[in-house]
Structure 1
Amino acid sequence: MYSESHTRSIAKAFTWRILGTIATSLLVFAFTRKLAMSLAVGGLEFVSKIGLFWLHERAWDRVRVGRRGGQAAVVWFTGLSGSGKSTIAAKVLEELERRGMRVEHLDGDTIRDIFPQTGFTRADRDAHVRRVGFLASRLERHEVIVVASLISPYEESRRFVRGLCDNFIEVHVATPLEECERRDLKGLYARARSGDITGFTGIDDPYEPPQNPEVIIDTRELSIDEAAAVVLARLKETKRDRHGASERHRSPQHLHPAGGVRELQTVGDVVVDREG
């Protein structure tokens, strides 16, 4: 799952033509016993065919029939702290790696180490999501599947990231606030409600639910394996339809224990944490 650079194509053509030229020169010499003629014919063939090979490679780069490339994507998990987005993302990452895909995980719990000066104001969070989105888009352009799991609470910044990416799959892990609080082993929600932590998403800082995500997950209804399986199925579907117009006219999917998918007309407001 890679694309040839011009330098690599030229290097391959050059080394192959050296072998071909030696063979041609030897054949001409074997038939004519004229060294000068064999060298001249070999040199002429070398120059002409190396150029033709480069043109041949560039032409085939534009032919999509039978090509298995173009599998890169950005799978963007968004949701409250404790919603399960990082756990599902890790499972998706594990499966993609098992399949031999080129994949990177950008997780909200660790990505701030790259940008240590980022705070938690609305402006800081917006800038942080945009930076991570830019990084994800660069990786995507190098044929890497990016699995990103950040709270990313604001619709505008997520829309900005979507615009940067060629193949963007937004996964809203819509676990309700009360369930996230129940799971909170670190006590962050309790500290936020007591005022010990300020600017906490879902308590005193808003979470803006995605308006039209590709996938919606409620982890009260699904196991991690079930949720990951449907995200992977959506990724496969999106790659298949990547070059079609239908990709911009998607309908969100909601996952349930039976493993099926049903379309939703509306999704109730959910509120979201700290890392994104």
Structure 2
Amino acid sequence: MVIWLIGLSGAGKTTIGTRLAARLRADLPNLVYLDGDLLREVWGGVSHDVAGREVNAERLSKLCLMLDRQNIHVVAAVLSIFPHWQQWNRRHLSHYFEVFLDVPMEVVVARDTKGLYRSAIDGETSDVVGVDIPFPEPAAPDLVLDSSGRDGTPDDLVERIVAALPVPVAR
């Protein structure tokens, strides 16, 4: 099973992803957590422009496929701005489960823990998804959650994800 968490920077992907992975490991010890930002560091040399993001998206999807074929479950926290890679995931990954963390832009700008949005809005940097690179909302996510606080705490959202999974795990 591959659980694919999609959302803008600041949507809570890392927070929810790490908590979800910890929550599931008791029942799925063969589970890994993949964070798009961390993998970008591991692979190195990939720009943040659209072309670089495409390379990163392909690598991440194909890494998930390799793990999936070995019956290793994955929680992946990624921006995921390419609908064709989301479709590829659905065709190639077993038990692919897509979760869209839908947070209004004003909330992620207010959170802006990395300073990305402020820098882009001020014209100091470019290639920021949601500012000068479009963020296409996923067309057919399996679950949509508002992680701005309206749908509950991060732990509440983790439990909602676990309850919605297509593969039973202890609850």
When normalised by structure 2's length, the TM-score is: 0.91
In structure 2, the residue matched to 1:229 is 159
Paired residue for 2:5, among 55, 77, 90?
77
In structure 2, the residue matched to 1:110 is 38
1:18-76 CA-partner distances (Å, limit 9, x unpaired): xxxxxxxxxxxxxxxxxxxxxxxxxxxxxxxxxxxxxxxxxxxxxxxxxxxxxxx0000
* Unaligned stretches of 5+ residues in structure 2: none
- 2: distance between equivalents of 1:129 and 1:160? 11
Q: Percent identity?
A: 29
- 2: distance between equivalents of 1:95 and 1:224? 12
**Matching residue's letter, 2:136:** E
1:152-196 CA-partner distances (Å, limit 9, x unpaired): 112122222322212100110001110001111332211010111
- Report deviation, 1:131: 1.0
Q: Is the 8 A contact 2:28 2:73 kept in 1?
A: no
- 2: distance between equivalents of 1:209 and 1:115? 26
- Report deviation, 1:98: 2.8
Greater share of residues in helix: 1
Paired residue for 1:122, among 45, 50, 57?
50
In structure 1, the residue matched to 2:142 is 214
**Quick check: 78-87 or 154-163, which moved more?**
154-163
Q: Is the 8 A contact 1:129 1:158 kept in 2?
A: no
Matched residue of 1:126: which SS?
A: helix
Q: Is the 8 A contact 1:83 1:175 kept in 2?
A: yes
Does 2:83 correspond to 1:173?
no
Does 2:61 correspond to 1:139?
no
Q: Is the 8 A contact 1:136 1:146 kept in 2?
A: yes
**Matching residue's letter, 1:90:** T
RCO higher in structure (CA 8 A, sep ≥6): 2
- 2: distance between equivalents of 1:207 and 1:129? 14
Rg comparison, structure with higher value:
1
**Matching residue's letter, 2:155:** D
In structure 2, the residue matched to 1:148 is 76
Q: Residues 1-276 of structure 1 correspond to what in structure 2 (within 5 A)?
A: 73-220=1-148, 221=150, 222-235=152-165, 238-239=166-167
- 1: distance between equivalents of 2:48 and 2:114? 18
1:104-132 CA-partner distances (Å, limit 9, x unpaired): 01102211123212112222212211111
- 1: distance between equivalents of 2:163 and 2:134? 31
In structure 2, the residue matched to 1:253 is none
**Matching residue's letter, 2:104:** P
- 1: distance between equivalents of 2:25 and 2:95? 19
Corresponding pairs, count: 166
